[in-house]
């Protein structure tokens, strides 16, 4: 794996290089997020008269991790002097950490001796924040009760799952209704074999199946790209110009339509997509493809955060990490509230320019001082670009009836409402270099 150079003031980029032969791969490492406590007392500690106390407060704020960013950003607006300087440094450090957490693989170190396979899987899920549903035979049946003796030493999530599946004779399957991944008992048929594929970082690339094209002299290799369920990719593309295919002796296998770019449609919560790679007829018939490699472009949403504007007052932009959100308008109308809000990210992204509506689908919320939410009647996109978008939302006035006495003759004005919009704080583009070896050009056993 090769990793891009990191500029200290920019979000880090990673390049996942995948060299795949069945289940083997090398993968990066990531820290487990720390438990988060209230940041307020440590923020106050930054203004202490004691240098040792100020240093201790800064260390404690950093230890809280990226979840403390909203309180740090809010405190910075009124901070001055050394407190402001320290808050700026802490914010930059936590923003870099949030970016790293979004694109690094989960890592676990665990050991089991004669422990039921389903308990081993549960331990990995608990440590990584990823969960893959278990088939009934695994969750409650004999297949999941098989004893496992196995040790993981700083293994990525997918390495851990692959090792456990091997030791417990289980398999990873895809489901379409509902869409997702599932761990099942491995088929007992003698002809069953594992798919060519492997893991790298938070991604897994397998050959789902091989389909003949036309008379069968050409093939379509269908890749299944899966990711840790905690992640939220919204665009995955595979430019055909990056694909190279060769026979066992290095014979060139042409790729059909090399100028095309494949883009997968990602269903919510599915955690996998299929990418078909059509290959033209080779000069000589082949029974096995010796190597298939290429580069996936994956866009991931970073850490989620609610951007809040109290009392619906347009104010200076709220910025967290690479996202800057502005409340442009909050205008009361008869029985209605019109809100206009915009988000802009620090850098342009093809993931935002894509036809996918993942960002526009995120709903703006309005809440009255007594906690009642306003009902959104309509949310529409006014403008969009490769850096963000502006949306307008119309909210309805709540039904009004006081706790005692008759209802008023007329609906009173809508009180000032708190406006919030939950968005990712950064957009990450990750190139994933994959290479799959020894692919039989007959459909491998699949589930």
Q: What is the pLDDT of residues 79-119, one digit of tens each?
A: 889 999 999 899 888 888 877 777 788 899 999 999 999 99
In this structure, the answer to whether residues 200 and 240 fall within a common structural domain is yes
Q: Which of 147, 168, 185 is the last residue of a domain?
A: 185
In the three-class reduction of DSSP (H, G, I as helix; E, B as strand; rest coil), residue 437 is classed as strand
Cis ω before 45 (30° cut-off from 0): no
- Neighbouring residues of 372: CB distance < 8 A, sequence distance ≥ 6: 398
309 closest CA partner among 361, 346, 364: 364
Q: Are residues 320 and 384 in the same domain?
A: yes
Q: pLDDT digit string (tens) for 180-239? A: 899 999 887 545 566 777 777 788 898 988 888 766 567 889 999 999 988 888 889 999
Q: β-pairing, 364-367 with 336-345?
A: unpaired
In a domain, 279, yes or no: yes
What is the arithmetic mean of pLDDT over 400-411?
52
- Between CA 421 and CA 402 the distance in angstroms is 29
Identify which has the larger pLDDT, 18 or 406: 406
Give the orientation angle of helix 117-128 with respect to helix 157-168, to 10 degrees. 180
pLDDT of residue 330 exceeding 50, the answer is yes
Maximum average pLDDT range among 95-99, 364-368, 396-400: 364-368
Do residues 169 and 185 touch, judged by C-beta distance below 8 A? yes
Residue 5 in domain:
no
pLDDT at 240 (0 to 100): 92
User: For residues 350 and 385, is the Cβ–Cβ distance under 8 A?
Assistant: no
Distance CA 233, CA 207 (A): 20
**How many domains, the chain?**
4
Examine the domain organization and report whether 47 and 80 are in the same domain: yes
Domain that holds residue 279: 192-294+431-440
Whether residue 160 is found in the same domain as residue 309:
no
pLDDT over threshold 50, residue 164: yes
User: How confident is the model over 55-70, as pLDDT tens digits?
Assistant: 999 999 998 888 888 8
Element (DSSP H or E) covering residue 273: strand 272-279
Domain co-membership, 126 together with 142: yes
- Tell me how far apart the alpha carbons of residues 171 and 174 are, in angstroms, rounded to a whole number: 10
What DSSP assignment string belongs to 12-61?
----EEEEEBTTB------PPPPP---SHHHHHHTT-S-HHHHHHHHHHH
Contact yes or no for 343/447 (Cβ under 8 A): no
What are the tens digits of pLDDT across the range 103-160?
788 899 999 999 999 999 999 999 999 999 999 999 999 999 999 999 999 999 999 9
Question: What token pair was written down for 103?
Answer: 């694109």
- H or E stretch at 162: helix 157-168
Beta bridge partners of 305: 423
Q: What is the pLDDT of residue 201?
A: 79
Angstrom distance (rounded) from CA 50 to CA 402? 52
Residues 353 and 419 in one domain: yes
Looking at the domain assignment, is residue 406 inside a domain? no
At 281 the pLDDT is 80
Is the predicted pLDDT of residue 286 greater than 60, yes or no? yes
pTM check: above 0.85: no
């Amino acid at each position: 794996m090769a990793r891009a150079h990191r500029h200290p003031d920019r979000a880090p980029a990673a390049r996942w290089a995948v060299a795949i032969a069945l289940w083997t791969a090398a993968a990066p490492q990531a820290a487990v997020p720390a438990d988060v406590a209230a940041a307020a007392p440590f923020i106050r500690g930054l203004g202490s008269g004691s240098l040792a106390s100020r240093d201790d407060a800064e260390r404690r704020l950093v230890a809280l991790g990226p979840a403390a960013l909203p309180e740090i950003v809010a405190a910075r607006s009124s901070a001055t002097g050394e407190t402001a300087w320290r808050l700026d440094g802490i914010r930059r450090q936590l923003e870099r950490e949030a970016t790293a957490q979004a694109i690094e693989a989960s890592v676990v170190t665990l050991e089991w001796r004669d422990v039921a396979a389903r308990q081993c899987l549960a331990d990995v899920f608990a440590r990584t924040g990823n969960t893959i549903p278990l088939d009934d035979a695994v969750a409650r049946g004999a297949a999941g009760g098989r004893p496992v003796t196995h040790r993981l030493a700083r293994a990525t999530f997918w390495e851990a799952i692959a090792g456990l599946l091997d030791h417990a004779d289980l398999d990873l399957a895809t489901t379409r209704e509902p869409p997702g991944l599932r761990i099942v008992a491995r088929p007992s048929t003698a002809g069953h074999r594992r798919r060519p594929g492997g893991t790298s970082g938070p991604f897994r690339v397998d050959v789902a199946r091989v389909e003949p094209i036309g008379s069968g002299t050409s093939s379509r290799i269908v890749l299944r790209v899966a990711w840790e369920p905690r992640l939220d990719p919204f665009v995955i593309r595979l430019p055909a110009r990056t694909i190279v295919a060769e026979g066992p002796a290095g014979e060139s296998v042409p790729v059909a339509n090399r100028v095309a770019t494949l883009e997968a449609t990602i269903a919510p919560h599915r955690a996998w997509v299929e990418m078909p790679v059509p290959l033209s007829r080779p000069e000589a018939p082949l029974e096995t493809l010796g190597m298939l490699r290429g580069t996936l472009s994956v866009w991931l949403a970073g850490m989620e955060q609610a951007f809040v504007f109290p009392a619906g007052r347009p104010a200076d932009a709220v910025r967290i990490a690479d996202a800057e959100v502005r409340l442009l308008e909050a205008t009361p109308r008869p029985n209605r509230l019109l809100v206009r809000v915009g988000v802009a990210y620090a850098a342009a992204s093809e993931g935002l320019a894509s036809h996918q509506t993942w960002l526009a689908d995120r709903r703006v919320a309005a809440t009255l001082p007594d906690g009642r939410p306003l009902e959104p009647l309509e949310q529409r996109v006014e403008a969009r670009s490769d850096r963000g978008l502006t949306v307008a939302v119309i909210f309805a006035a709540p039904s009004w009836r006081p706790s005692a006495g008759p209802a008023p003759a007329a609906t009173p004005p809508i009180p000032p409402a708190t406006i919030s919009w939950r968005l990712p704080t950064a957009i990450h583009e990750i190139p994933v270099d994959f290479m799959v070896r020894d692919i039989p050009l007959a459909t491998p056993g699949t589930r």
